[in-house]
A and B are shown apart, each in its own frame.
Chain A
């Protein structure tokens, strides 16, 4: 008789460890045989706050550098309203991650911590973004955005991306200074692990302005996608009448991409730069059919206001890319299925975890959807992103070991 000895443990007595926290994610990865295909996570994060000392040393301007060092990074956040993501201690990784060790042998603590969650979830390649920097576009001091973005991008490419082939990024663009943004593309566009560039959309610059045309041309010429990552801004003149983070987050993360997407389309940017691929990140999915329907309806009455367009707004939007997270999925399968149809999800939807943030989504949120074919699941979880970013197929060592244990050639 096969007797299995039970294991009894006291979770409150254990040291925090990402691998243990995500043990159930690893079980999901094994049960679903994620080793059979490549998973790419197009939106995940690290906490650059843990590497501030290193990053500040990359700031060119010595006066600015001292400002950052002595303010311990507060220079970045003159309008901080934060402190709600951790849900008053409910999301335990927020309070414990700072003391967690990386992995022995990993070139950098951030690489070690990232490998831990990637391996648990079955993610082979992760596109990494910073965290507090998502609000940097709101900083009233343009040079703060420019100087810090350049320092961060140098640090990220030299200390992280150069060392870890499983980590890639779309680099932050200091959009408040169009020339500096263009120079960022020119200087960093060819670096290892750089698969595109990022515009954080919690900002108040019109992205259709003529000052950005050289930037878009430079990206198009290089075949590098532009990504729009949303965020919250509690200081926004509309948002600041809300008194709860749930409202700010639910609306804000969709709102800023709704705003910039609408401007992007009605100003004909997709017609002017047909080779420039755009990715809309972390706004969920429900907003996309809403904007498609609103714009199509208005366009048919007011097409003379958007004469550059040759097709319905929704047709341009259907050719853009979207990240999955945070996917609305409570009691809404028929709506979700319709949304997938409307956005051509099988080719345009890209899996994103947003880990380690509080509303992260596991690969199973896609894999377990009953209305998707096996090929559609694989496309969304990795293959569409692999094609978009022209990445080589890469299967993580842990997944290769599982294949070997099953007698399957990697």
Chain B
């Protein structure tokens, strides 16, 4: 049966932080981003790597001129990606969707904030 597992006190996680919570055989990555909390199964859909233990980086976008000639690349920080450290598979931090194939998605877990604590439902 699902239960709320204590992660940490809210003040202990700042924007950009992640905590890995292991309960029995299930591992979940809990993120704080722009004040909100997100949690996903720490299991890459590629080869089972620790998807939530890599870096976070904005989506890379190509910039084109009006005539469609290439100008440069930049990061779109409004769409941060979770990146699996084994092979680089990328997932959208806000939805868990696999960036190049939205049919694939990390399993999402609910996060509950109460009495100054952060809990993840596992």
- In the complex, the answer to whether B43 meets A91 with C-beta atoms within 8 Å is no
Name 8 extra pairs, CB < 8 A, besides A8-B22, A91-B86, A362-B47: A8-B6, A10-B18, A12-B17, A21-B50, A24-B48, A89-B57, A91-B85, A365-B47
Q: Is the CB of B23 within 8 A of A24?
A: no
What mask results when residues 73 to 84 of chain B are scored 1 for a CB within 8 Å of chain A, else 0? 000000000010
Interface residues of B in 16-53 (CB under 8 A from A): 17-25, 43, 47-50, 52-53
Question: Does B87 contact A360, Cβ atoms closer than 8 Å?
Answer: yes
* Closest partner residue, chain A, to B13 (CB atom): A10
Contact A8 B8 (CB under 8 A): yes
In angstroms, Cα B122 to Cα A6, docked, is: 10
Q: Which residues of B approach A to under 8 Å, CB–CB?
A: 5-8, 17-25, 43, 47-50, 52-55, 57, 83, 85-88, 122
A11 and B57 in contact (CB under 8 A), knowing A360-B86, A365-B47? Answer: no
Interface string of A267-300 (1 = CB under 8 A from B): 0000000000000000000000000000000000
A362, B48: Cβ atoms closer than 8 Å: yes
6 contacts between A and B (CB under 8 A): A8-B21, A21-B53, A23-B50, A24-B48, A27-B48, A358-B88
Min CB distance B103 to A, Å, is: 10
Assembled-state Cα–Cα distance A4/B83 (Å)? 29
CB contacts under 8 Å to B, within A365-379, are 365
Contact A4 B23, beta carbon cutoff 8 Å: yes
With A11-B53, A358-B87: A364-B18 Cβ-Cβ less than 8 Å: no
Residues B85 and A93 in contact, CB atoms below 8 Å apart: yes
Residue of B nearest to A9 (CB): B20
Chain A residues with CB under 8 Å of B23's CB are 4, 6
Closest to A7 in B: B22
Interface residues of A in 345-369 (CB under 8 A from B): 358-362, 364-365
* Cross-chain contact B88 with A87 (CB below 8 angstroms): yes
User: Which 5 A-B pairs rank lowest in CB-CB distance, beginning with the nearest?
Assistant: A92-B85, A11-B53, A7-B22, A90-B88, A6-B23
Is there a chain B Cβ closer than 8 Å to A131's Cβ?
no
* A4 adjacent to B53 (CB under 8 Å): no
Contact B85 A10 (CB under 8 A): no
What count of chain A residues pass the 8 Å CB interface test?
27
Q: Does A28 contact B (CB under 8 A)?
A: yes
Q: Which residues of chain A are near B5, meaning CB under 8 Å?
A: 6
Compute how far the CA of A19 lies from the CA of B50 in the bound complex, rounded to whole angstroms: 12
B56 to A: closest C-beta gap in Å: 10
Report yes or no: B8 in contact with A364, Cβ–Cβ below 8 A: no
Query: Across the two chains, which residue of chain B brings its CB closest to A88?
Result: B57
In whole angstroms, what is the CA distance A261 to B21 when docked?
Answer: 49
Q: How far is the CA of A365 from the CA of B47 in the complex (A)?
A: 7
Smallest Cβ-Cβ distance to A355: which chain B residue:
B86
Contact of B43 among A9, A24, A364 (CB under 8 A): A24
The interface residues of chain B lying within 8 Å CB-to-CB of A364 are 47-48
Which listed residue, A11, A361, A362, touches B18 by the CB 8 Å rule?
A11
On whether the beta carbons of A6 and B22 are closer than 8 Å, the reply is yes
Q: Is the CB of B85 within 8 A of A4?
A: no
B residues less than 8 Å from A12 (CB atoms): 17-18
Establish whether residues B22 and A10, one from each chain, have CB atoms under 8 Å apart when the complex forms.
Answer: no
Chain B residues closer than 8 Å to A92, beta-carbon distance: 54-55, 85
Task: Provide the bound-state CA to CA distance between A296 and B5, in Å.
Answer: 62
Nearest opposing residue in chain A for B48, CB measure: A24
Most buried by A among B54, B86, B87: B86
Q: Kindly list chain B residues whose C-beta atoms are within 8 Å of the C-beta of A11.
A: 18, 20, 50, 52-53
Residues of B within 8 A of A360 (CB): 86-87
Determine the chain B residues whose CB is within 8 A of the CB of A89 once the complex forms.
55, 57
Q: Considering only CB atoms, which chain A residue lies closest to B16 in the complex?
A: A12
CA distance A309 to B17 in the complex (A): 63
Q: How far is it, in angstroms, between the C-alpha of A4 and the C-alpha of B24 when the chains are bound?
A: 6
Contacts of B25 in A (CB 8 A): 27
Name the residue in B43, B47, B50 with the highest tally of chain A Cβ atoms < 10 Å from its Cβ. Answer: B47
Instruction: Given A90-B55, A92-B85, A358-B88, decide whether A10 and B47 contact each other with a Cβ distance below 8 A.
Output: no
Given the contacts A89-B55, A358-B88, A8 and B48 also touching, CB distance less than 8 Å: no
**Residues A279-337 near B (CB distance < 8 A):** none
Contact of B49 among A9, A10, A24 (CB under 8 A): A24
